[in-house]
Amino acid sequence: MNTPSPWLWLLVAGFFEVVWASGLKSTQGFTRLWPSVWVGLAMAASLYGLSVAIKGLPVGTAYAVWTGIGAAGTALVGIFLLGESAAAARLACIFMIVAGTVGLKLFSRG
């Protein structure tokens, strides 16, 4: 049985990073039980995926890519699902995060 690549684990971890960060507001400061439970589970899944990915990737690269996925993904969720600003400057900044994340993947070993 083949083990999923560290990059696949990192993508899954990044997905859960976006899930928990996007859902954080719904917890209302962790005062609402079920949103807090779901956010907590997504946090745990995100950290687990990152911890598995780091076994096969440099920690600095993995962490930077993980946070890049989380930052860009959460910003896009805010734009498309939560009605946040899609100003050109904001989109350009999101693009730079994505470009940096892709660059780390292209120029990293692992």
Residue 2 has pLDDT above 90, yes or no: no
Encoded amino acid at 48, one letter: Y
Residues 56-100: tens digit of each pLDDT: 999 999 999 999 999 999 999 999 999 999 999 999 999 999 999
Residue with tokens 């962790």: 30
Tell me the C-alpha distance between 13 and 9, whole Å: 6
pLDDT, residue 77, reads 97
pLDDT, residue 1, reads 54
Entry pTM = 0.90
As a residue count, the chain comes to: 110
Residues 24-54: tens digit of each pLDDT: 999 999 999 999 999 999 999 999 999 999 9
Tell me the C-alpha distance between 98 and 93, whole Å: 9
Check: CB of residue 11 under 8 Å from CB of residue 69. Answer: yes
